[in-house]
A = this chain, B = another copy of it.
Amino acid sequence: MNDLSTRLHPFDIATRLEPLGEGRSVGATSPHYWNMAGPFGGATAALMLRAVLDHPQRRGRPAALTVNFCGAVAEGEFEIAVRLVRDGRSTQHWQVEMTQGDRGVATTASVVTGAARETWSHEAQAAPVVPPPAEVASMDLTGRTGWTRAYDMRFVEGEPAWAGRLPELRPAKSVAWVRDAPERPLDYVSLAALSDSFFIKVLQVRGDVPPVATVSLSTYFLADEAEVAAQGVRHLLGVCDARAFRHGFNDQSGELWSADGQLLAVTSQVVWWKE
């Protein structure tokens, strides 16, 4: 007998943490979220956030997450240690470190959680007007492996070609519907992973994939618990752009809009590449 209701989603397997006490926990990399030379950065970001959300002293919902990808994460087990740096009335500040035995620190993160509050609100920008996901074709996954198969992506604009160095540079902007594949109700942990689900901009602009790695990623969560839950399993609209590629680094900034046109999170990262 195969009880579907008790089977975990691959994302929940990839971000599973076993508590060891005193803010420490252990997890393991997942083949479902593997990237070229290590785990998908979004899965690592999600783990760093989950470690904080699982902490017994944590109050409120995430407001900010910064992940620094310090070194390669090897296939296998890792340990995550969480420290409450400052416990304020309106915010808590957390520091997180991922290690693998004597290989040193692989990843650091800082997380800010904030108390649930109703305040004045104002949407200074509106969601882009695009065709609904049902009217946009899913990206062809032929030849794709690892984490790219863990998302259904429907590009309205800026789908990368994987064609090798292009004769002419393309625009850096991308607009795409995206959701977990298979479907999974959105939560902050999956939103953290989605904030790193944009294809690298060197690929989009230039057509090839050099040795490349996200160095630092910051995501700000603008949605409260109810707004995240209201998204359910629907596609989010991801908008992403880059401004400059210079001295082996480029910036990247993104937005994640709900199916109802609400800005759930904004994200930015700096990306290292070889040449």
Contacts and interface: CB of A to CB of B under 8 A. Distances in A.
Interface of A: 63-64, 66, 68, 70-71, 85-86, 88, 90-91, 93, 95, 104-105, 108, 110, 112, 114, 116-125, 169, 171-172, 201, 205-206, 215-216, 218, 220, 222-224, 241-251, 253, 255, 263, 266, 268, 270, 272-275
Contacts of A117: 247-248
A40 B253 CA distance: 26
B88 A205 contact: no
Contacts of A88: 70-71
Contact of A112 (B68, B116, B125, B255): B68
A68 B90 contact: no
Contacts of A123: 243-246
A70 B93 CA distance: 6
| Majority secondary structure, A binding face | strand
Contacts of A274: 119
B114 A249 contact: yes
Given A64-B215, A66-B110, A218-B218, 4 more contacts: A63-B216, A117-B248, A119-B273, A222-B244
